[in-house]
Structure 1
Amino acid sequence: MLAQRISLLSGPGTAAAREAADAAAATGRHIIDLAAGEVMVEPPSSVREGAIAAIKAGTNRYTDSIGLMPLRKAIAKKLSAETGIAWNAEDIVVTAGAKQGLLDAALAVLDPGDEVIIIRPCWPTFPSQVLLAGAKPVFVDAQPPTYIPDIDAIRAAIGVHTKAIIVNSPNNPTGAVYDRATLQAIGDLAINYQMWIVSDECYSSFVFTGTRHESILMAHPGVRSRTILVNAFSKELAITGWRLGYFAAPREIISAAKKLQSHTTSNANVIAQHAILHHLQVGDGSFEREMHERLCRARDAGLLILSDLQEVATPGAGGSFFFYLDLSRLTSIQPAQSPVRSTDDIARLLLEESDVASVPGGTFGDVNGLRLSFGVSPDLLETGLKRVVETLNSLKTA
């Protein structure tokens, strides 16, 4: 008999879409994977060189549970430059990916019976980790086409048991980038109702609105004492499998994380820590700039292709590397006898008949959405999106 907590967790979600694509590819079909939450490029040479040097040096032992001090100093320097806010090593925890940072935050601040506001559509890890901590997710639905949350709706969701709010901008899956006024208003609510803010900024390197990423701490410096800023190197350096993230937080959260990590992972992978440290020491930012430029070109090309959709609005895709389609109009006009009535059906159709993998919105708590990644190579993106457009437009007259 399994523990009850396991029944609280959602299914694998995005991983399930990837597994379905892999299973189809295993039969010999050429699948264009637009489901993956990663950019398909090689990591920078500085990261690889740092890992190799650490291995050759015999770097095999435990580190401090919250990370190597030189790496924490380097991350603090990086974060200070990016946010314009002073950070030091004592504010930083190195984690085994952003997921561990988010779980640390949940376990550090939530008690059974607490409530956490989550803006939906959302990454399924958010509610799952809240449930693991014994707390209750309270969802606020952000509406298309912008998917920017309504502040009055957030305010209405706050109750006597509300302990925290999770902010994710740039957003996965919608690509929404929250404007300064929205971030400031969320900050005001957090102060007025004494809420923690958990700010997932893992897509901070990928903003395409003509401005730099703005953390909620930049928009509202007054929330620093109640904010846990979570980030990772997985996306920006194309090393999702290396599992190295970090968070910046008040000292009581740092102390809690030190206890938590000493009893879970002991420390993040030591080779990955040294690899990232080397990159931060010698990197000139060219890899990150080239990655952004590549994704900007992919976004522009993809939006042009998607503009040919007939019953689906062209997505905003202000940040992250996802196109998020609102298929509510398309599914609503399908005849009663149609085998395609939901976004799950559409994702299945795309995979089975068009050889394109996608992620249906139900994964993110939204029955109307479909997520497509533009992190693949330009030729595959063009082919894949043209197939998506052809398939969806064919449903209009099905």
Structure 2
Amino acid sequence: MLSQRSAMLNSDAGAAWTAAEAAAASAEQIIDLTAEEIRTDLAPMVREGTIIAINRNTTTEPAELRHALARKISAETDQDWSADEIAVTGGSKQALFNVAMALLNPGDEVLIPAPHWTPFPAQILLVGGTPIFIQTRQNNFVPKITDLAAAVTSKTKAIVVNTPNNPTGTIYNRDTLADIAQLAIDRDLWIVFDECYGAFAHTPHTHHPIVSVAPPARARTLIVNSFSKSLALTGWRIGYVAGPRAVISTVKALQSHTTYSPNVITQHALLHHLESADASFQQKLQRHVADARTLGLSILSTLSSIPQPTAQGGFHFYLDLSGWQRCAKSAGPEFNADHVANVLLTDAGVATVSGTAFGDPAGIRLSYGVDPELLGKALHRLTVTLNTWN
């Protein structure tokens, strides 16, 4: 008999990956646009740092890493941060889970703008909290402050702020962030600020750390980030959470009784990269993503009945199907994103992620962090298939 909490875990976007793998195994020509990673070479300074650490027979954690991260965050937020305000984690998921464990009691409510990254509500449920979803589609996927304020109750403990957003690619502007920060201050709420896609803000849009926009909110803000996106290190599982010392101390204590810390080779490799101050790889990665975005938007502009995604940040296109009329190929009296994703897989040979994974039955997420040639081929197939439905 499994635990009750295991029933809270959905397969989420994993279903799309499983379907893509199954199709590929059967020799079908499937192009996979489900990924939450950029397919690229390893950052040179990370690779060099790895080799150095191995050649030194390194087995201990580098204490200097948290100091290096403090310098990084200080530069990004224009505020002073110290090493004891930072915990190094096994990617952003562990950071978020540790924060949920540290902040939430059973029954506490957390506001989550939707569509949302799947782990946000899953982790809240696992620790006994209650996710409260705030719909954003009618406001260009940005939460209205009036909707957030109306959802606050005596049980509300925190607000999740994810910008650039996964899955929608939306970036919250300064006014939105300032309003959220003021609401959190006025109603005594925590802010969980997930900026994992912050390195990819596409012109003319700019990513703003919320503590820079509203410095008084720093005392109630937990900044979560990882290097899975900015350095394309998804499988290396390295990230951090920064915030008030008392919370960070609790996060570290929790981590000491679970996974303890990311492996030391990864930590030394990241430290070497940060100390090298070599920004060339990240700049190259940003150009690669920006070029892929331009290519993708050009192709998606040929969709006849679906709005072109804005893709302000990150590396996902989010197709809004809400105004799309039902077509002959959709099964049943209505269709949802699951139907569309299945047809794209079978008819176009393109694996996508249905918005139902993100609490939205009217959206489709496409990654453009793939090889440009494959991206172009996939999006051409996708547009032809969707346009034949009209």
TM interval, short-chain normalised: over 0.9
CA displacement at 1:52 relative to structure 2:
1.7
Aligned to 1:333, which of 304, 308, 326?
326
CA displacement at 1:139 relative to structure 2:
0.5
CA displacement at 1:159 relative to structure 2:
0.4
Code of the aligned partner of 1:202: C
- The aligned residue for residue 167 of structure 2 is 173
CA displacement at 1:329 relative to structure 2:
2.2
Aligned to 2:357, which of 351, 360, 363?
363
CA displacement at 1:337 relative to structure 2:
7.3
CA distance in 2, matches of 1:118, 1:145: 15
- The aligned residue for residue 322 of structure 1 is 316
3-state SS of 2:207 partner: coil
Code of the aligned partner of 2:176: T
Alignment of 1:198-277 (within 5 A): 198-277=192-271
CA displacement at 1:338 relative to structure 2:
4.2
CA displacement at 1:144 relative to structure 2:
4.8
Q: Which deviations, in whole Å up to 9, do the C-alpha atoms of 1:27-56 show, x marking residues without a partner?
A: 112321111111110121110111122122
- The aligned residue for residue 13 of structure 2 is 14
Greater mean deviation of Cα atoms: 127-136 or 50-59: 50-59
3-state SS of 1:165 partner: strand
CA distance in 2, matches of 1:91, 1:259: 14
Code of the aligned partner of 1:333: R
Runs of 4+ in 1 over 2 A off after TM superposition: 209-212, 332-340
Q: Which deviations, in whole Å up to 9, do the C-alpha atoms of 1:269-299 show, x marking residues without a partner?
A: 1111001001111141011111111111111
- Indicate how the Cα distance of structure 1 residues 336 and 271 shifts in structure 2: closer, same or farther if over 3 A, else same: closer
- The aligned residue for residue 188 of structure 2 is 194
Taking structure 2 as the reference length, the TM-score comes to 0.97
Matched, 1:116 2:115: no
Code of the aligned partner of 2:10: S
Alignment of 1:346-385 (within 5 A): 346-385=340-379
CA distance in 1, matches of 2:244, 2:265: 27
Aligned to 2:381, which of 370, 384, 387?
387
- The aligned residue for residue 44 of structure 1 is 43
CA distance in 1, matches of 2:232, 2:211: 26
Gaps of 5+ in 2: none
Aligned to 2:69, which of 67, 75, 80?
75
Code of the aligned partner of 1:140: I
Code of the aligned partner of 1:26: A
The number of residue pairs the alignment matches comes to 389
The question of whether the paired residues in 1 share the 8 Å contact of 2:329 and 2:389 is answered with no
3-state SS of 1:328 partner: coil
CA distance in 1, matches of 2:300, 2:255: 44
3-state SS of 1:185 partner: helix
Q: Which deviations, in whole Å up to 9, do the C-alpha atoms of 1:166-188 show, x marking residues without a partner?
A: 00000000000001110000001
- Indicate how the Cα distance of structure 1 residues 336 and 33 shifts in structure 2: closer, same or farther if over 3 A, else same: closer
CA distance in 2, matches of 1:238, 1:142: 29
- The aligned residue for residue 128 of structure 2 is 134
Gaps of 5+ in 1: none
CA distance in 1, matches of 2:383, 2:329: 22
Code of the aligned partner of 2:108: D
- The aligned residue for residue 272 of structure 2 is 278
Q: Percent identity?
A: 47
3-state SS of 2:389 partner: helix
RMSD after superposition? 1.4
3-state SS of 1:372 partner: strand
- The aligned residue for residue 5 of structure 2 is 5
Matched, 1:54 2:66: no
CA distance in 2, matches of 1:25, 1:336: 24
3-state SS of 1:344 partner: helix
CA displacement at 1:377 relative to structure 2:
1.1
